[in-house]
């Protein structure tokens, strides 16, 4: 059995990275959204549910992006510190945008889902740029 080795990000270019980032993001978003909906269903406070789901989705994204999107085998405190700083920022952005969207949206059946999508989209755009230019830069 042959081990599959990822293609180094430096050789794949931004298009390939973006495609992998989207695939990883879709899986991570499923984790985030599934946990969010489960915790809401269990009666957890909406902002706590969003915080917990974001952390689990983000952890999934970081691990998979590091391995498959940006193919980084290098670790170290500097890279981890960059990850922590980035995700602290996107955490605040994601939870904050979710809260703002919930405050701005009218009462409707999919209000929580629409707020989640708005928050996720905003944080994802910031996340890709920062992962590429700060955390996993070459």
* Domain encompassing residue 116: 13-135
- The answer to whether residue 69 sits within a structural domain is yes
- The answer to whether residue 22 sits within a structural domain is yes
How high is the pLDDT of residue 62?
Answer: 81
How high is the pLDDT of residue 5?
Answer: 46
Separation in Å, CA 113 to CA 33, 45, 60: 8, 15, 20
Q: Are 104 and 56 in contact (CB under 8 A)?
A: no
- The answer to whether residue 3 sits within a structural domain is no
Tell me which H or E stretch contains 88: helix 76-104
State how many domains the chain has.
1
**Which token pair is 37?**
């909906």
How high is the pLDDT of residue 2?
Answer: 43
- The answer to whether residue 111 sits within a structural domain is yes
- The answer to whether residue 71 sits within a structural domain is yes
- The answer to whether residue 6 sits within a structural domain is no
Percent of the chain with pLDDT over 90: 47
Separate counts of helices (H) and strands (E) for the chain? 4, 0
Answer whether 0.75 is exceeded by the pTM. no
- The answer to whether residue 100 sits within a structural domain is yes
- The answer to whether residue 1 sits within a structural domain is no
Low-confidence ranges of the chain (pLDDT < 50): 1-10
């Amino acid at each position: 059995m042959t081990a599959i080795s990822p293609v180094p990000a430096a050789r794949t270019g931004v298009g390939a990275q973006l495609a992998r980032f989207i695939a990883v993001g879709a899986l991570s978003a499923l984790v985030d959204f599934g946990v969010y909906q489960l915790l809401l269903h269990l009666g957890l406070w909406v902002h706590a549910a969003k915080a917990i789901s974001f952390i689990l989705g983000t952890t999934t994204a970081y691990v998979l992006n590091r391995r498959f999107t940006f193919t980084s085998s290098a670790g170290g405190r500097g890279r981890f510190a960059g990850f922590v700083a980035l995700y602290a920022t996107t955490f605040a952005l994601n939870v904050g945008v979710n809260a703002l969207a919930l405050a701005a949206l009218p009462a409707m059946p999919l209000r929580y889902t629409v707020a989640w999508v708005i928050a996720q989209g905003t944080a994802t755009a910031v996340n890709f740029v920062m992962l590429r230019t700060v955390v996993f830069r070459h």
